[in-house]
Amino acid sequence: MNAISPIAPVPLIPESAPFTPAQRAWLNGFLAGLYGGAEGAPANASPTPVPEAEDFPWHDPALDLAERMALAEGKPKPRRLMAAMAQLDCGQCGYVCQTYAEALASGAETSASLCVPGGKPTSKALKALLSEAAILAPAAPVAAPKPAGPIGEPIGFLAATRLTGPASAKDVRHVVLDLAGSGLAYQPGDSLGVVAENDPALVDAVMDALGADSALRPVLLRERDIARPLDRTTDLLAGAARDPKEAAMLRKLSDGDDDAEPKEADLLDLLTAFPSARPPIADLIASLPVLKPRLYSIASSPLAAPGKVELCVGVIRAERRGRLRDGIASCHLAFRASPDQPLRAYIQPSHFRLPENPGTPVIMIGPGTGIAPFRAFLQHRAATGARGRNWLFFGDQRSATDFLFRPEIEAWREEGLLTTLSLAWSRDGVQKVYVQDRMREAAADLWRWLQDGAHVYVCGDASRMAKDVDTALRQVAMQQGGMSADQARDWIVALARQHRYQRDVY
């Protein structure tokens, strides 16, 4: 494990910087927390734990927004807010659905735009619900949270090897990290929270646009999310805009209007498109969301990779408005991480667990990077000699370029660890084939496995795949089990309550 760099002296905002005494005091406090190890969360702090499960009938991602809201009609405000969310508990907002709703209802959280899978429909529904009871705070700068101690533990970076072929439309990396000396331990099914930094080039461009003092660079680099400003940031910019047209467009952006431009804007986009909107820098920084760790499903078993943790990371990189947009953590791991610079990370324990009985059959459905926890499951079952049958549904665009971990998977099939392997390639033929199509084709066998007590696991894309797989499972129950649509839905709910249907979606 590489040594940690010594603590740097705490920088201070110079007296000549264009801030009020109160703004300078807040920024100096922020920098003190960043550099000086201010008291706060413990070093291995992680996001709020998942609350105890309750019987929420709307907590079903297969239901559309209108159905969820109908089921929550007449419930307390926090539950109606919860029903407006995507019901995936994916953690991208820094909460799970229940705790995000409760934070909004109490006023502890002021942004109604954090539910990434829910998108604009969820954001609009949340704002409408909050407005009914005047819970939503007025569009004004929010107080920044008190700086806390660093999140996670230092771990070493070893490699980020490309898994996809050169001709693939995707760049997927096999990331290997060194846990030696970190004290971190995990189980198959857990996730790794990676503390990443913003792209330094983007930070520099934002600072140039603001004319900001260099002492603010570490705040923008490590503490604030400049890739996805919230509605409170656009509200603040709208209030500061000297040009009425710019102010009107910023308000449209904040309201989520479909014709508002620029779409999917980062902070630099907003500063470039609206040059008259320049609020006090300290207020602007306080309005930005905290830069949250990114969670990745762990792709290894500690029995197969002792002292290490492995990930399967899809690199997010796209060109928009003439410049590259990088995923914060994925591009940090793929392009900027190096063995001589430790990362910070923590283990996020999960409900996503193999059956306690090693003889129980398991059905794993994980296209693309959704293969990650199932590689860990299969490694673990091989290492422990578990005798239960294993069925993997995997796929992506093309077999030749996108068959992740192909040598391992084919070896497991040859050795008999994988009882059944169902592959789906959406671009290899005229007909697009997805994992849910393979499920329907194998409905009779799938039903037999389920009748034998198989546990079903789903990992991957929350917006479409997880819902399509859920629909396919219901169709299998209706076709093979002779159930009505309502009976199939109740059967799925019962399966989940028995922990025989588990999802790790994002």
Instruction: State the residue for tokens 């929350």.
Output: 462
Q: 427 and 471 in contact (C-beta within 8 Å)?
A: no
CATH architecture of 199-287: Up-down Bundle (1.20)
Edge-to-edge strands, sheet with 390-396: 420-425, 390-396, 362-365, 455-460, 501-505
Give the model's pLDDT for residue 67. Answer: 80
Give the model's pLDDT for residue 87. Answer: 72
Task: Name the CATH topology of 153-196+293-348.
Answer: Elongation Factor Tu (Ef-tu); domain 3 (2.40.30)
Cβ neighbors of 157 (< 8 A, separation 6 or more) are: 177, 178, 333, 337, 338, 339, 341, 342, 343
Domain boundaries, the chain: 39-151, 153-196+293-348, 199-287, 362-505
Q: How many CB atoms within 10 Å of residue 143? A: 7
pLDDT tens, N- to C-terminus, the chain (506 residues):
333 333 344 455 555 555 555 555 555 555 554 444 333 333 333 444 444 456 787 777 667 788 888 888 888 888 888 888 877 666 667 677 888 888 888 887 877 878 877 777 887 788 778 877 554 334 333 344 444 557 899 999 999 999 999 999 999 999 999 999 999 999 999 999 999 999 999 999 999 999 998 999 999 999 999 998 888 999 999 999 999 999 999 999 988 887 888 888 999 999 999 999 999 999 999 999 999 999 999 999 999 999 999 999 999 998 888 888 899 999 999 999 999 999 999 999 998 999 999 999 999 999 999 999 999 999 999 999 999 999 999 999 999 999 999 999 999 999 999 999 999 999 999 999 999 999 999 999 999 999 999 999 999 988 789 989 999 999 999 999 999 999 999 999 999 999 999 999 88
Q: 31 and 9 in contact (C-beta within 8 Å)?
A: no
Task: Name the CATH topology of 362-505.
Answer: Rossmann fold (3.40.50)
For residue 66, the surrounding DSSP H or E stretch is helix 65-71
Q: How far apart are CA 184 and CA 168, in angstroms?
A: 34
Instruction: State the residue for tokens 């019901």.
Output: 87
Q: Rounded to two decimals, what is the model's pTM?
A: 0.81
Give the model's pLDDT for residue 66. Answer: 82
Give the model's pLDDT for residue 258. Answer: 79
Give the model's pLDDT for residue 106. Answer: 84
